[in-house]
Amino acid sequence: MSECEVCGNDYALTFEVRTQGGGRYVFDSFECAVHLLAPICEHCSCRVIGHGVQVEGRFFCCAHCARRAPTPQGEKAADSVGGGA
């Protein structure tokens, strides 16, 4: 059994996440993984779970929050409205 790096739970079904930067983390749930690894929106401070929007190296949860960034590129951010079948 391994111990979750966030909550300390000693659990038989832990999983490992490796990051591009060489980090190696052990978690017992996706909730703990998100808590530690997901970026935080620079406008509203929520965790960015999904694609989010990146403007000039800064992370935002959506285009609305990115437009609040004090940068010219942030003002241009737009949500994509699907062109599904």
On the question of pLDDT at 63 being above 90, the answer is no
pTM, entire model: 0.74
Mean pLDDT of 45-62: 90
Burial 46-85, CB ≥16 within 10 A → b, else e: eebeeebbebeebbbbbbebbbebeeeebeebeeeeeeee
d(CA 74, CA 2): 42
pLDDT band per the 50, 70, 90 thresholds, residue 60: very high
Residue for token pair 């079948």: 85
Mean pLDDT score of the chain, rounded to an integer? 88
Q: What pLDDT, on the 0 to 100 scale, is given for residue 73?
A: 72
Specify the DSSP element, H or E, that contains 35. helix 30-37
For 25, the token pair is: 């983390």
